[in-house]
Structure 1
């Protein structure tokens, strides 16, 4: 019997911090103004703070290219950031997503970027993490509109397919986070005949008073009630389906980097607010194996924070799920 085909994915989840200090500086202008790389920065970690996107974008794109990722779930990306990253990453990259405020270009995206030479898009959709998930809408009491970008991919050189869900849960409403996790879990369960990968900023750690969303999606708590329309469109396939935290599913000797994924823009010594709230998860139906898990860097010697979150990266081998 011939071995089943597999697909090697270097997957990243990164909340890149929205463009809170917009300016008119182009990517070309930023590149033209870069200093001589042989010169020492003026001061290591000098007064870390939030810098404009026009400076941060170079660090984000450079980190991703150097890490060799081929699939990325971003959070907090405005349309300018999406187009800038597409330009900086290069022609081999495509992306899928919409603005959360209107389903078009308004508001933050949860875009999924992918290498065209590795993946092709079979289907994609966006749903809102609210009581009316099929139209732009905000959960009562939530700070913002919240969405999930769902993309079904197939490998370019084989018939291996998988579903990627990318999301950003609310920073203010625990009820929204629980509903969002329940919708994500339901959508993933519907696709459990193929491997499922989930990336996102959950604003929910794995323990403590705000851990409800994490525990719902990983099976530690029951989901909350969701829209009947959503449940009808995406009927579940398994009564035992849950998501698995890839950090715990990776051989321990291959888990590296930092623990916290959220840092703010504070100095390294001021780590009281650091938290692990950004995750890469896989469906409990299998079809994937995590070979490496790393939380990378976001602060550089020139004192620039690329983002107030660190990138989360995993090497995942995907194959077809055995369906009985």
Structure 2
């Protein structure tokens, strides 16, 4: 685990270094947008297709979904209660809930789990993302951002419209091929494997591009403290016990709980900007939880 995190940290620092020393006039934000777009629309669907095509889809998938959804909903309830207790204003409340409840299951979880547990862990990450995290982000996450922020569109888009995206198309196709026991041609399996190999390093580098210590503000620290406590300590502890309830065991339990112990998702910054929540607070939470996860993840790995 420590070796894996050192490798991830170096790659993230390379991305963060681009923010300080941009090359050929490309800013960190421009570079991140280009990389994440290529990953989201091309490389990630290829990985989803490769992994789910040969994954063991069935009761195990329902267990991952139950574990992920329950843990995230618990995070929403706990962070919302904290915000209400301390009487946070709406823009801060929305940012706190998004940062505390939704983990970075794919952009950080995928490379960390793959390097720590092996290639089989990619299936855990993708199923947790597609069957739990992503559906909740695109439904409850957007609904919460709208409620605590502002939506200037006269006719807001349907929440379900966000499922009209390449990773979900790839997942649907993979599940159909999987359940019908259709084997992938050798040439296609090799191509998908090569495309999948590019996802992890590009994700980690993009995460480094997204981190900015300039966004960290002292005024945000009182809001960030409960986020850190919930995201990195309480929710992983709860996920361990929820995993026992849904009867996830052994290495599958360890990988799933580790994925849910990841720091705050980067996508929340987009939701904060879009709906007028406190983007600076959210960026601070992402940066601090990502940095502290270098300590919390080895701890949970040792516990599991």
TM-score tier, shorter chain, comes to: under 0.3
Normalized per residue, the structure richer in strand is 1
**TM-score where L is the length of structure 1:** 0.25
| Larger relative contact order, structure 1 or 2 (CA cutoff 8 Å, min sep 6) | 2
TM-score normalised to structure 2 length: 0.26
